Structure 1
Amino acid sequence: MVMAKRLIFVPIVFIFLMIANDGVKTQEGEEADRILELPGQPKISFQQFSGYVTVNQVAGRALFYWLTEATHTPFTKPLVIWLNGGPGCSSVAYGASEEIGPFRINKTSSGLYLNKFSWNIVANILFLETPAGVGFSYSNRSSDLLDTGDRRTAEDSLEFLIQWLDRYPRYKNREIYITGESYAGHYVPQLAKQIMTYNSKSKHPINLKGTMVGNAVTDNYYDNLGTVNYWWSHAMISDKTYRQLINTCDFRRQKESDECESLYSYAMDEEFGKIDQYNIYAPPCNNSDGSSATTRHAIRLPHRPHPIFRKMAGYDPCTEKHAEVYYNRPDVQKALHANTTRIPYKWTACNEFLNRNWNDTDASILPIYREMIAAGLRVWVFSGDVDSVVPVTATRYSLAQLKLATKTPWYPWYVKNQVGGWTEVYEGLTFATVRGAGHEVPLFKPRAAFQLFKSFIGGKPLSKSSQRR
């Protein structure tokens, strides 16, 4: 009997030691990623972590992340993942540094100041640079940049999340929401689908609760049709060009005919004029020589409005340029535990090479929306209504194909006694517009975007009250 007890006792101790050692390794990994302080950072009340997760050992693909925990009681708050689009654009450059993150970069790129509408007031925010080749994320196999696409991005993002949750076990049972904008209209639902598939086979499912995307690329045909209609309805193109585009272009095709491409080029070069296509009522940020910074060929890559609008809108119009200076500083990279392998190129807000060589893309994300709705996820979609790149009409045309029953009819929602936008609640999906916002909604309308996010996380409808006294 004594021997039997020993045989049972020893393995239990051994297993206990293994678990204890595992916990130590996890804590060491987390501590190694702790951000002590960023150069020029103001005093803060929350913790930050950043670093790499290797998602493919053979290729040496590693994705960079930046976690900004909630300002108060982070252990009670959900985890929100933010993804930027492009494809090829950095969540650090856009989401973290000029939209929903806790900091803004000052004009001289020498320091940071606080964003009073940061989303980490409400939740723990995890910014992920995906796929490899975006921002600080990298691959040791250069061919990866030639055949990246939707499929690998979703698969690598799931692998990242599984490993990341192992590194931060306190988040394993936390409610998780995936958010983003633009081409993340693909990334967000595709990652959600990967998680749902993973959960169906796993003994330890990821606690995914919902998704929210803004100005989202959704369906090739209806997005393109809605975009051309937006251009015409907002007097950006002539009746003649509109008719030619409608009659000539096959909006279902991934690559348009030369004749159609020529019509697009004519519209943008001759009829649009020098506007910021990401906010049609704000002139583009100019280069130092006074020329426009907007380029037609990088249509999906965000650009900034002209400085004349800064005082009116309350933001610095050239934050992308400040970000490219700040995040290339060696002291900043050291503080972020970034570029540890000495990537042989500068950090950029968007990787245009990756954008040009995107290998595969879903023609429509609508089938995934049906799956998410059927699974009971909280699904919200929003649109800044002065964006002409992925405009509100494109999103409305696409979502209409879901043929969802209306739960709460169209109504205006309010922020500080002003109409923040309009919304309609369907069975399984909420759609909202943000009045006067461009492609990056939280950049142009930070207060309204913050209110939108709080309602989404709280699972509550947007306010119908103007609260007039």
Structure 2
Amino acid sequence: MSVVVICLLFTSIFTNTDSLTNEQEKDRIKALPGQPEVAFSQFSGYVTVHKKHGRALFYWLTEAATHNPLENPLVLWLNGGPGCSSIAYGASEEIGPFRINETASSLYLNKYSWNKQANILFLESPAGVGFSYTNKSSDLRDSGDKRTARDALTFLKRWMSRFPQYRYRDFYLSGESYAGHYVPQLAKKIHDYNKNHSNPFINLKGFIVGNAVTDIKYDNIGTVAYWWSHSIISDSTYKSIMSSCKFTSAKYSQNCDDAINYAWNYEFGEIDQYSIYTPSCNKSSRNLTTNISSRVKNTLVRISGYDPCIENNAEKYYNRPDVQHAMHANSTGISYKWTACSGELLDNWKDSEFSMLPTYKKLIAAGYRIWMFSGDTDSVVPVTATRFSLSHLNLTVKTRWYPWYLNGQVGGWTEVYDGLTFATVRGAGHEVPLLQPQRGFLLFQSFLAGKNLPRS
């Protein structure tokens, strides 16, 4: 039976909610507390990825808000950290259909939700992030890149057994920050898995990542250059960091640490390093990631261009028992509160690839659609870091650097290479869809369509 016939078969079987399997029906979200009425279906729950250790990953699927979601692709979204929740950030602040109000009493619609174009699958990964859990506490102290990718592949295979209507569907990966590791690593896992199976059902077409951690050496050099070029640090501190920091390993000399700490403590000020031109939230701290060190210190940050403390809303909302019940979450009674990021995972991360560039080369050669984008006001994984890392792929330029437009205004700049598209998003920080939702939405539309960003 051909792939096309199989796809048509699944489409004919799963054309309405009456065709849901018992497993799917158990995962159906009837309505979230305070949720406005919507026409699309939602599902959430757990998929066990390691039975012996009791590792289970939590997902939330928001189907496409279109006439027939089975005609739309499936997109997996991953946030980074390592140790941060895709429910807290991707789903609730960036690309998900809902936003949480300030009192965490109700939800309101996101006008630029990505599920207007695709079925979006949010995954809290690895175990220990958000509602995802493990019954073996040592798993929280020895997580790393390799196991995260392995468990994510296991999740996808088992999730698609539960939701067979998504088998063979056009499938894309997406994410930001430390997902610059998660996404290409998982893409390679899927690629290798498909090569070794005669009838692969994970129909990976490509991936898109934003403000992505890519290469320790080149990211670091590009990050320090951003700090200096945006007047965050002094000439003397810039020279001190560049002369004392070699950036050839995850461990730095004492002189290097001293120079970086001086910049953080005496020159940065209380800005939001993830969005340097918006107000900061002085009531919360964040653990996303910074590519200037393998062990990130908490920093005072904002959360968005509208409400710098929006992350607090998610922590209130997802700790509500009625919300957890509606989402089939925390079914095992996790002994700790749901948090946006896990400090324990971050502090004990065991393996992190030095460079993702070799992985990119393999995936580019395999012909996948690959886009990278950068919000240009992020000082943590800044546009200069990504550009410097990409320059070492030595790709052939197909379409030279040009400004792209939305509503008559420059939305950013882009360059198309043989095998990869890079774009900046003007006025966006680390979380592009939060700071510039309409520009982020157009970026996503263009990626799915495989079209260059508009010149006018």
**TM-score scaled by structure 2?**
0.92
Aligned structure 1 segments of 4 or more residues deviating by more than 4 angstroms: 292-304
Partner of 1:70: 64
How far did residue 204 of structure 1 move?
Answer: 2.7
Rounded to whole Å, the distance in 1 between the matches of 2:223 and 2:217 is 10
Aligned residue type for 1:445: Q
Q: Is contact 1:274-1:283 (8 Å) kept?
A: no
Partner of 2:187: 192
Aligned residue type for 2:279: P
Check if 1:122 corresponds to 2:122.
no
Partner of 2:302: 305
Partner of 1:229: 225
Q: Is contact 1:101-1:120 (8 Å) kept?
A: yes
Q: Is contact 2:282-2:300 (8 Å) kept?
A: no
Given the superposition, is the C-alpha separation of residues 300 and 392 from structure 1 closer, same or farther in structure 2, using an over 3 Å criterion? farther
Question: Which residue of 431, 448, 451 maps to 2:422?
Answer: 431
Rounded to whole Å, the distance in 1 between the matches of 2:69 and 2:103 is 32
Check if 1:174 corresponds to 2:169.
yes
Aligned residue type for 1:361: S
Rounded to whole Å, the distance in 2 between the matches of 1:25 and 1:413 is 43
Larger Rg: 1
Question: Which residue of 429, 440, 447 maps to 1:456?
Answer: 447
User: Can you list the C-alpha shifts for 1:249-279, whole angstroms capped at 9, x where unaligned?
Assistant: 1211112122211111100110111110001
How far did residue 246 of structure 1 move?
Answer: 0.6
Partner of 2:45: 51
User: Can you list the C-alpha shifts for 1:348-387, whole angstroms capped at 9, x where unaligned?
Assistant: 0000111010000000001111111111100000000010
How far did residue 286 of structure 1 move?
Answer: 2.4
How far did residue 302 of structure 1 move?
Answer: 8.6
Aligned residue type for 1:141: K
Q: Is contact 1:102-1:115 (8 Å) kept?
A: yes
How far did residue 26 of structure 1 move?
Answer: 7.9
Q: Is contact 1:299-1:389 (8 Å) kept?
A: no
Rounded to whole Å, the distance in 2 between the matches of 1:51 and 1:347 is 15
Partner of 2:10: none
Check if 1:133 corresponds to 2:124.
no
Q: Greater CA deviation, 110-119 or 196-205? A: 196-205
Q: Is contact 1:249-1:260 (8 Å) kept?
A: yes
How far did residue 25 of structure 1 move?
Answer: 12
Classify the secondary structure of the residue corresponding to 2:120: strand
Aligned residue type for 1:174: R
Partner of 1:12: none
Question: Which residue of 22, 28, 31 maps to 1:28?
Answer: 22
Question: Which residue of 295, 307, 319 maps to 1:316?
Answer: 307
Aligned residue type for 2:169: R
Q: Is contact 1:304-1:320 (8 Å) kept?
A: no
Classify the secondary structure of the residue corresponding to 2:61: strand
How far did residue 318 of structure 1 move?
Answer: 1.6
Q: Greater CA deviation, 254-263 or 70-79? A: 254-263
How far did residue 418 of structure 1 move?
Answer: 0.7
Classify the secondary structure of the residue corresponding to 1:286: strand
Aligned residue type for 2:437: P
Question: Which residue of 208, 211, 218 maps to 2:204?
Answer: 208
Rounded to whole Å, the distance in 2 between the matches of 1:385 and 1:161 is 33
User: Can you list the C-alpha shifts for 1:48-99, whole angstroms capped at 9, x where unaligned?
Assistant: 0000000000000000000000001201000000000000000000000000
**TM-score scaled by structure 1?**
0.90
Rounded to whole Å, the distance in 2 between the matches of 1:393 and 1:302 is 21
How far did residue 316 of structure 1 move?
Answer: 2.7
What stretches of structure 1 of length at least 5 have no aligned partner? Answer: 1-19
Given the superposition, is the C-alpha separation of residues 256 and 126 from structure 1 closer, same or farther in structure 2, using an over 3 Å criterion? same
Question: Which residue of 91, 96, 102 maps to 1:107?
Answer: 102
Question: Which residue of 31, 37, 40 maps to 1:37?
Answer: 31
Q: Is contact 2:271-2:300 (8 Å) kept?
A: no
User: Can you list the C-alpha shifts for 1:281-339, whole angstroms capped at 9, x where unaligned?
Assistant: 1231122xxxx757899858797538xxx7xx4x3322210100000000000000000
Two-structure CA RMSD over aligned residues (Å): 1.9
Q: Is contact 1:61-1:140 (8 Å) kept?
A: yes
Aligned residue type for 2:264: M
Partner of 1:252: 248
User: Can you list the C-alpha shifts for 1:399-448, whole angstroms capped at 9, x where unaligned?
Assistant: 00110000000000011111000000000000000001000000100000
Classify the secondary structure of the residue corresponding to 1:242: helix
Partner of 1:142: 137
Given the superposition, is the C-alpha separation of residues 301 and 385 from structure 1 closer, same or farther in structure 2, using an over 3 Å criterion? farther
Partner of 2:331: 340
Given the superposition, is the C-alpha separation of residues 188 and 380 from structure 1 closer, same or farther in structure 2, using an over 3 Å criterion? same
Q: Is contact 2:61-2:121 (8 Å) kept?
A: yes
Rounded to whole Å, the distance in 2 between the matches of 1:300 and 1:190 is 25
Rounded to whole Å, the distance in 2 between the matches of 1:266 and 1:300 is 14
Aligned residue type for 2:357: L
What stretches of structure 2 of length at least 5 have no aligned partner? Answer: 1-12
Rounded to whole Å, the distance in 2 between the matches of 1:434 and 1:350 is 25
Aligned residue type for 1:56: H
Rounded to whole Å, the distance in 2 between the matches of 1:77 and 1:283 is 37
